[in-house]
Structure 1
Amino acid sequence: MILHRYINRQIFMTTVMVTFILVMVLVSGRFIKYLAEAAAGQIAADALFMVMAFRLPEFLQMILPLSLYIAILLVLGRMHMDNEMVVLRAGGQGDGRVVRSIIIPVLVAMGVIALFSLYVTPNGDAEVNRIFEEQKDRSALELLTPGRFHVKGDGDAQRATYAESLNREEGYLENVFVADASFDDQEAGRLLTVWARSGRLEQQDGISYLLLEDGYQYQGKPGEADYREVAFEQARVRIGEERSSSRPPKVRGRTTAELLDEGTNQAWAELQWRISLVLTVPIMCLAAIPLARVNPRQGRFLRMIPAVLGYMLYVGMLLTMRSWIADVPGSDRPWFYSMLWIHLIALMAVFMLYFGGRLFSRRARA
């Protein structure tokens, strides 16, 4: 029991430290991406932290198996370096005792990842999908930062909007500029420009409009003299599409029960991926025990890079199989299109790590 507590405490502390570092790196990169989208007006700034909060379980379910794997490598590697494992082996404590020592952290990690992958993460992805769909439905001026141009549209038609300032007390924009440019074959190069002294947002029949007051409208093609100028006291500009009911979430945002009932190739691929995240924990933790064996003269980090590359290869094969299963319908899918075979290959590799040396030595003696 003392050995179990000693190893478990070291693994727990190292896992927490590695998880914190990896989460900070991953969250910082993703936050910078979302921050750039917010600066470009593609997403509201107040939605950033909600999106990151709902994404956090997805980050953890990917990072936690790797963190536990690295923690076991570091802890057991240090014990080999300090000759602690030599003392344990001299006392009759081999790999079997070490395997029993890591059962508790492995079971805890499997439970947390199963909770995240099968329940928490799908609900979080559904909420993220809902937030992004709401952001798509929001008008350009709702996402507009006063004092900056905001461009929205596709290749055939684009709209640029600008407001000099926002009067928050009375709820209207000041010195509003709206320019619609068309690039299709019929009206190529035609530009419609509107300037108004003020404007305010309003809703009618589920559609967003901008009510402009005291302004001018200019229409024509740049370089030609047939511009038309129209002065107006009030004008309404449609700036949003009709708000429809919420779209169904993507396959990643559907619950596990929905995936079981759906039965499509995308649902089957997602379901296998969620289960595979749980299975990677015991397989890679078993592999970490023989991979952590190092000679004190070699250094504790000698096998760290090959071990991490092996983990990346394992997860990369699972991701590749996931895309293959999602692309091929069940009736046309080959029998070997299953993540089960990848787990079996990984188990065979773990078996060779434990017993490969003995098998080859017996063959050499024979």
Structure 2
Amino acid sequence: MILHRYINRQVFMTTVLVTFILVMVLVSGRFIKYLAEAAAGQIAADALFLVMAFRMPEFLQMIVPLSLYVALLLVLGRMHMDNEMVVLQAGGQGNGRVVRSLVVPILMATMLVGMFSLYVTPRGDAEVNRIFEEQKDRSVLELLTPGRFHVKGSSDSQRATYAEHLNREKGVLENVFVADARFESQGGAGRLLTVWAKSGKLVVEDGISYLLLTDGLQYQGKPGQLDYKEVGFKEARVRIGGEKTDSRPPKVRGRSTQELMEQQADNKEALAELQWRISLILTVPIMALAAIPLARVNPRQGRFYRLIPAVLGYMLYVGMLLVCRSAIEDHKGVLPWYLSMVWIHVSAGLVVFLLYFGARLFRRRARP
């Protein structure tokens, strides 16, 4: 029991530390991406933290297996460097006892990843998809930052909107500028409509959002020509949103595991997603068991002698799963028997078996 508590405590502390570092790196990069989208007016600033919160289970289900794997390599590698493993083996505590000591943390990590992969992450992805769908329907007024140009459009049309000030108490924009450009098929300049107004506010009619402008001027024409039309107006409406529609069904990553099981026979994407969720669970015990023999080093080799090759092996394992997932999604027609993630796990399990018993088998075969 003392040995179990000693190893488990070291593994737990190292796993938490590695997980924290990896989460900070991953979350920081993703948060910067979302922050840039918020600055460009694509999503509202108040939705950033909701999106990050719903994305967190997806980050953890990818990080926890790697964190446990690296923690086992570091902890067991240190024990080999400090000759603690030599003392344990001299006392009759071999690899089998070490494996039994790690059963609890491996099971806990497997259950945690399984809960995230099968239940929590799909719900979080569905919520993120809903939030982004709502952001697409939000008006320019809701996303507009005073003092900045908000540009939105496609290859054949673009709209730039600017407001000098936003009176939040009255919900009114002041000194509003709107430029609506249409481009020709060859990419040349088309019609340009420019509107300036003293003030503007959001109105909704029949489910369509309009920007009601007051006391302004409208200029319409084609760049490079002198036939611009100038029209003054007391009030004018600019359509800034489409009709409200029902939210689309969640993407395959946002569907529940039960739905994927019902759809896997007819939907390749559902089959690939279901296999991927199960694969994330299987990576925990497979790579944790692989870390025990891979951490075996002698003091001359150094503590990190096998760390980089072991991490590269983990990346190869996960990379093969991702490639197989893409192949299943893109395959047309009947899926061949060999195109399945099962064979990747079987191959990984065979490698783990050889790490434990390969040397013993080779010695037996080498005997005359």
Please report the TM-score for the alignment, with normalisation by the length of structure 1: 0.98
Matches within 5 A, 1:304-323: 304-323=307-326
Name the aligned partner's letter for residue 223 of structure 2: P
Q: In structure 1, what is the equivalent of residue 181 of structure 2?
A: 181
2: distance between equivalents of 1:314 and 1:235?
Answer: 61
Q: In structure 1, what is the equivalent of residue 224 of structure 2?
A: 223
What are the superposed Cα offsets for residues 9-62 of structure 1, whole Å, 9 maximum, x if unpaired?
Answer: 110000000000000000000000000111111111110000000000000000
* 1:349 and 2:351 matched: yes
Q: In structure 2, what is the equivalent of residue 235 of structure 1?
A: 236
Name the aligned partner's letter for residue 202 of structure 2: L
1: distance between equivalents of 2:229 and 2:142?
Answer: 29
Q: In structure 2, what is the equivalent of residue 127 of structure 1?
A: 127
2: distance between equivalents of 1:313 and 1:243?
Answer: 45
* Structure 1: gaps spanning 5 or more residues: none
Q: Percent of aligned pairs with the same residue?
A: 77
Name the aligned partner's letter for residue 200 of structure 2: G
Q: In structure 2, what is the equivalent of residue 248 of structure 1?
A: 249
1: distance between equivalents of 2:210 and 2:179?
Answer: 15
1: distance between equivalents of 2:185 and 2:349?
Answer: 60
Q: In structure 2, what is the equivalent of residue 155 of structure 1?
A: 155
* 1:285 and 2:288 matched: yes
Instruction: Give how far 1:326 is off.
Output: 1.2
2: distance between equivalents of 1:304 and 1:185?
Answer: 56
1: distance between equivalents of 2:107 and 2:77?
Answer: 22
What SS does the corresponding residue of 1:225 show, helix, strand or coil?
coil
What are the superposed Cα offsets for residues 335-361 of structure 1, whole Å, 9 maximum, x if unpaired?
Answer: 111110000000011111111112223
What SS does the corresponding residue of 1:169 show, helix, strand or coil?
coil
What SS does the corresponding residue of 2:142 show, helix, strand or coil?
coil
Matches within 5 A, 1:32-111: 32-111=32-111
1: distance between equivalents of 2:124 and 2:205?
Answer: 32
Q: Which moved more, 1:94-103 or 1:133-142?
A: 133-142
What SS does the corresponding residue of 1:196 show, helix, strand or coil?
strand
1: distance between equivalents of 2:191 and 2:171?
Answer: 32
8 A Cα contact 1:141 1:161, kept in partner? no
What SS does the corresponding residue of 2:32 show, helix, strand or coil?
helix
Instruction: Give how far 1:362 is off.
Output: 2.7
8 A Cα contact 1:189 1:222, kept in partner? yes
Instruction: Give how far 1:365 is off.
Output: 3.2
Q: In structure 2, what is the equivalent of residue 172 of structure 1?
A: 172
8 A Cα contact 2:189 2:223, kept in partner? no
RMSD, aligned CA:
1.2
Give the counterpart of 1:275 among 264, 269, 278: 278
2: distance between equivalents of 1:119 and 1:204?
Answer: 40
Name the aligned partner's letter for residue 285 of structure 2: P
Instruction: Give how far 1:141 is off.
Output: 2.7
Instruction: Give how far 1:184 is off.
Output: 2.6
8 A Cα contact 1:291 1:307, kept in partner? yes
Q: In structure 1, what is the equivalent of residue 300 of structure 2?
A: 297
Matches within 5 A, 1:198-213: 198-213=199-214
| Residues 147 and 300 of structure 1: CA distance in aligned 2, closer, same or farther (over 3 Å) | same
1: distance between equivalents of 2:150 and 2:37?
Answer: 12
What SS does the corresponding residue of 1:214 show, helix, strand or coil?
strand
Matches within 5 A, 1:326-345: 326-329=329-332, 331-345=333-347
What SS does the corresponding residue of 1:177 show, helix, strand or coil?
strand
What SS does the corresponding residue of 1:142 show, helix, strand or coil?
helix
2: distance between equivalents of 1:338 and 1:304?
Answer: 29
1: distance between equivalents of 2:90 and 2:56?
Answer: 45
What are the superposed Cα offsets for residues 212-239 of structure 1, whole Å, 9 maximum, x if unpaired?
Answer: 0000110001221111111000011100
Q: Deviating runs (4+, > 4 A) in structure 1?
A: none
Instruction: Give how far 1:185 is off.
Output: 3.7
Q: Which moved more, 1:100-109 or 1:349-358?
A: 349-358
1: distance between equivalents of 2:101 and 2:364?
Answer: 30
8 A Cα contact 1:157 1:184, kept in partner? no
Instruction: Give how far 1:333 is off.
Output: 1.2
Q: In structure 1, what is the equivalent of residue 193 of structure 2?
A: 192
* Structure 2: gaps spanning 5 or more residues: none
Instruction: Give how far 1:188 is off.
Output: 4.4
8 A Cα contact 1:41 1:150, kept in partner? yes
| Number of residue pairs matched by the alignment | 365
Name the aligned partner's letter for residue 256 of structure 1: T
